[in-house]
Each structure stands twice: as C-alpha cells, then as structure tokens.
Amino acid sequence: MTADLQPASTLREQKKNDARTKIADAVIQMMADGRTDISHDVVAEVTGISRRTVYRHFADREALFSGASTRVRELAGNRVTFPSSEKDLLDTAAIYEGFDRIAPIVTLVRSTPQGRAMRKSQKLERQESYRAATADAVKDLPEPDRTLATAMLQVLHTTPWLEMRDHWDLNGEQIARATAWAIRTLLNDLRTRKGKPLDQ
C-alpha cells in the first residue's frame, strides 16, 4: 500500500513513531557527544521538532532517558528485551550478539554517567521484569536472599558484556556461552538448595 493510499490514522501513527525515534536518537547522539545539558529545549533545537511535541512524547527528563534506553534495545535487536521467564533469561545470545552489533552505543550506555542515568530511568521496570522471570527459582529463599539472587541473575543477563569484551577480548557469542552457563548453574543451585540461605 502506497503512502497516499494509507488511512490517515496509519500515517499519523507513523509520523508519531518517527518523531519519537528521532528524539530518542538525538538523546543518544548527545550522550555520545558528551553533552550534559540534555533537556527538552536542547532536543527540540537539535531535532527541529517543536518543544511542545518533545514534551508530548516524553513528559520529563527521565522519560527522555527512558525513551533513549528503549531505543538502544530496539537497535540491538527485537529479542533484546527485559525477560519475563527463565527461558528469556537463558537467551543470552540475543542480548550479547545484539550488543556487539551496536558496540559503540552499548559502551556509551555502560560506561558514562549519562548512559547510566539512561539505564536507571527504567530501574523499576527492570526490577519488576527480573522478579517475574526468577520468581519460581527464588520462591523458597528467605528475604533478602530472594532479592540478592534475583539481582545476581540480572547482572549476569546483561552486565558482563563490557568487562569481558574489554579485558578478555571476547565477542558476544563467547560472552553469551559463559553467561548462559553461569545462569544455568545458579538456577540449578536455587532449585536444589531447598530454601537454604545463600551463604549456606
């Protein structure tokens, strides 16, 4: 279907999505440029999108960062999402090979204050997702051990990429193999410890 034959609602939705993407890409680029003055006004100036439209898509600075974080995951690949199950947790190949595809952006996100602020903008969503994905495995543990185990599994699911790439010269496929093994090992341990605290 050509653009002039598409329903007006479809064209409006496409225009809206294009604006959101342009805004998120601009935030990522400003972070890459080392800018610390990221705001709705600056984004409007850089993109040529009106300040009002920027606010309509992203209500505050945290929402701007959250939109950029979502965009990074989109660029890495459609399987690079927050997990909802143990199966998702074990699909580390999608995560780490996706990170390799956009290595400069992921390095920025993982190693700069702006990138960390961007990741923190989705902290609650991330926690809820990992709690749901690990709920069955940690259900017999006392608190705070449930939280400790869940946090460790989350770290293994996404965090080692930069360290293992920089310090061991490993690629995404290799990192995925190592982290999947570590996650499987921890999940197996959680199932066999029958609720014993993590330090026993």
Residue among 116, 162, 157 nearest 133 (CA): 157
For the segment 118-144, what is each residue's pLDDT rounded down to a tens digit?
889 999 999 999 999 999 999 999 999
Task: Write down all domains in the chain, each with its CATH number in brackets.
Answer: 8-192 (1.10.357.10)
The number of helices, as runs of H, and strands, as runs of E, in the chain is 12, 0
Q: Tell me what pLDDT residue 5 has.
A: 61
Q: What tokens were used for 45?
A: 């100036």
Contact (CB, 8 A) for 172 and 99:
yes
Mean of pLDDT over the chain: 91
E strand residue ranges, 27-90:
none
Q: What is the pTM of this model?
A: 0.82
Q: Tell me what pLDDT residue 1 has.
A: 44
3-class state of residue 182 by DSSP: helix
**Is residue 9 scored above 80 in pLDDT?**
no
Contact (CB, 8 A) for 105 and 32:
yes
Mean pLDDT of all residues in 38-65: 92
Q: Which of 20-29, 80-89, 146-155 has the highest mean pLDDT?
A: 146-155
**Is residue 10 scored above 90 in pLDDT?**
no
